[in-house]
Each structure stands twice: as C-alpha cells, then as structure tokens.
Amino acid sequence: MNVVSIMAHQDDEMRCLGAMLKCRARGDHLFFVTLTDGAKGMVQTPAMPASEAGAIRHAEMAALVEAAGATFLNLREPDEFLFDTPAVRMKLIDAIRATGAGLIFTHSPRDYNLDHVMVNRLVRHCAMQSCLPVLPTQSPVLAQHPAVFECEPFGTFDFDPSHYVDITPFFAEKVRLLKFHRSQEEAMQQATGSGLEVICSRLDSYRGDLVGCQWAEGFVPMPGRGTIKPYPVLP
C-alpha cells in the first residue's frame, strides 16, 4: 500500500510519523506531501526573505524524507495564505494520483492554524476526485478511493481518537527524523521552551497510557464518501 502524509507545513507530519514508520515496516511505501512552502515558520529570523526561508524548510523536509526512504512532493503554496482555488485543487488531485495513495493521513478540521483546516477541506474533496475521471491530470486516476485518517490537532482542542497505533518500537526513529527540521527545533525552543522531542513525548506518552503501551498516536477516520473502509487499514 502507498501511505501518504498530506499536511500544510514541513514538520506537521509529527502527528502521524510513527504510524507511517510502522506502515513502512509492514512493507508499505511512504510519501509526504506539503501544500505550502513553510516560509512563515522562521519566527526566530522574521526578516529572512520568503524565498530563503522556503528553501530551508524544503531542504529540511527533503532530508527527513530521504532518510525515511520515502518520496516528497511540495506544492509550494504561500505559507499562511492557503486558499481553496481551482488551481490548488488540481495540484492536490494530481499529487494524490501521483502517489497512488491507498491511505492518507491529514489534519483535523479543528485546529489553531487555518492552513491546517484548509488542508483538511482540500483532502476531503481532492481524495474523492482522485478516483473520478471528470478532472483529468497528468497522473492517472486512482483505481479506488484512498482511506483517510485525521491526525491529532495542534493546540488545545478536544480530540477523541477512535483508532490508536502503538508506535513504541518506532518512537526513537520518529524523533531522530523530526530533528532534521533544525529550523523548527530552534523556532519551537524560542517560542515555547520545548523542542520537537518534548512536544511528541508528552502527547505520544499520554496516548500510549490510554491504550496500555509506552507510545501511541491517535486518529479518527475522515467521515466522507469512500474515506472509511470495511477492513483494517492502520498497522
């Protein structure tokens, strides 16, 4: 199966990276799609030109993806100004088809960042259209609708997972890979006093406690046409 993370920014994959590594261990192929250039994530250097900031974020994500043995697609829409337009929809439909997605992880519809919320809306529509021939793209139409799971949101929002993935054997590798986001480690330390490892540890440990393991990630299936399957999908 081809497993795809579709997120707004480079580092948003932290909410599903452990599950994706577990998918890789069962023989799946991994893909990472980001919709924005991530250029507004350099809060520690706010005067940095957007082109330079975007290049740094792209390089960091590309390094993570290479280390994971995966494939990276960056749609490079302007960070913090992601909108639902015909052009963006077509780019995402083509990306979903190009990955041959069988399973998609994406944002929750409830989140502090509107780019995240917009990605959820776009995935809902574009995943459906990816298996319908009415919108032609360079990549071929998918044979069937991919399963879609929403990840834990960022921020203090209620989230009640219906599905859990025990990532205990993969947590250390998850943290190692996330540290390729060096600029975001610095930004989060400056903004919150906590780095990527601490941010992941708090939540993944809590979710693990709920289901009787050390580390876990929680998900809910996206409610939509074709997004929920009558068979197990998660590892």
| Domain ranges, ordered by start, for the chain | 2-164+217-221
Percent of the chain with pLDDT over 70: 100
Range with the lowest mean pLDDT among 23-32, 45-54, 68-77, 162-171?
Answer: 45-54
Kindly give the pairing relationship between strand 147-151 and strand 163-166.
Answer: unpaired
Quick check: 188 pLDDT over 90?
A: no
Residue 143: what pLDDT? Answer: 96
Quick check: 156 pLDDT over 90?
A: no
Q: pLDDT digit string (tens) for 33-77?
A: 999 999 999 888 888 999 999 999 999 999 999 999 999 999 999
With tokens 């693990």, the residue in question is 208
Kindly give the pairing relationship between strand 2-7 and strand 29-36.
Answer: parallel
Residue 34: what pLDDT? Answer: 98
Residue 7: what pLDDT? Answer: 98
Q: pLDDT digit string (tens) for 191-222?
A: 778 889 999 999 999 999 999 999 999 999 99
Q: What DSSP element (H or E) covers 55?
A: helix 50-67
Quick check: 153 pLDDT over 90?
A: yes
Confidence of residue 8 (pLDDT cuts 50, 70, 90): very high
Rounded Cα gap, residues 90 and 53, in angstroms: 25
End-to-end CA distance of the chain: 11
Confidence of residue 190 (pLDDT cuts 50, 70, 90): confident
| Closest of 82, 80, 83, 66 to residue 32, by C-alpha | 66
Q: pLDDT digit string (tens) for 114-140?
A: 999 999 999 999 999 999 999 999 999
Residue 52: what pLDDT? Answer: 96
Prediction pTM value: 0.97
The answer as to CATH 3.40.50.10320 being correct for domain 2-164+217-221 is yes
Residue 200: what pLDDT? Answer: 93
Rg of the chain (C-alpha set): 17
